[in-house]
Homo-oligomer: A and B are copies of this chain.
Amino acid sequence: MSVQKITDAEWKVMHVVWNHQRISANDVIAEVVPETGWSPNTVRTLLIRLVEKGILHVEKERGKEKEYLNSVYTPLFSREECESVHSRSFLERVFGGDTSRLLAHFVQDGDLTPEQVKELKKQLDKFKK
């Protein structure tokens, strides 16, 4: 039962945590609040829930400037691990497990740049053999 479900709102904060690997509540808030308009407390609640879910680790640390005691978070699973788990369940749920239909869909809907198309084809070639 590793990697519990991450909800929509939680993904937002997870991405920020992954980008820093180790980040204080306040710094998460500083990034998330402007782009979501959420209250700082909302972000804190999400961080706490992620800890409860065993997805983040938290410890206390004194701030550098001011010596307030801060909560600092670190991810317990890599972004890739979580993406993987959630991708699989999405594939199953929405496309009934049919990867190639899913891929076709995203290719058509994804206006890729020529670069990206090329890169992807290279990937595909590697799997050919």
Q: Please classify the interface of chain A as helix (H, G, I), strand (E, B), loop, or mixed, using the class held by over half of its residues.
A: helix
List chain B residues, Cβ under 8 A from A121: 121, 124
Q: Residue of B at shortest CB range from A15?
A: B96
Give the size of the chain A interface in residues (CB under 8 angstroms): 39
Query: Which residues of chain A from 7 to 57 have a CB within 8 Å of any chain B CB?
Result: 8, 11, 15
Q: Does A2 contact B (CB under 8 A)?
A: no
Interchain CB contact (< 8 A) of A120 among B11, B80, B94, B100:
B100
**Which of the residues B90, B117, B123 comes within 8 Å of A107, measured between beta carbons?**
B123
Q: Which residues of B contact A88 (CB under 8 A)?
A: 109
Q: Is the CB of B99 within 8 A of A103?
A: no
Tell me, yes or no, whether A76 is within 8 Å of chain B by CB: no
Complex A-B, nearest 9 residue pairs according to Cβ-Cβ distance, in ascending order: A99-B110, A100-B116, A11-B93, A90-B90, A117-B124, A107-B123, A86-B94, A83-B94, A121-B124
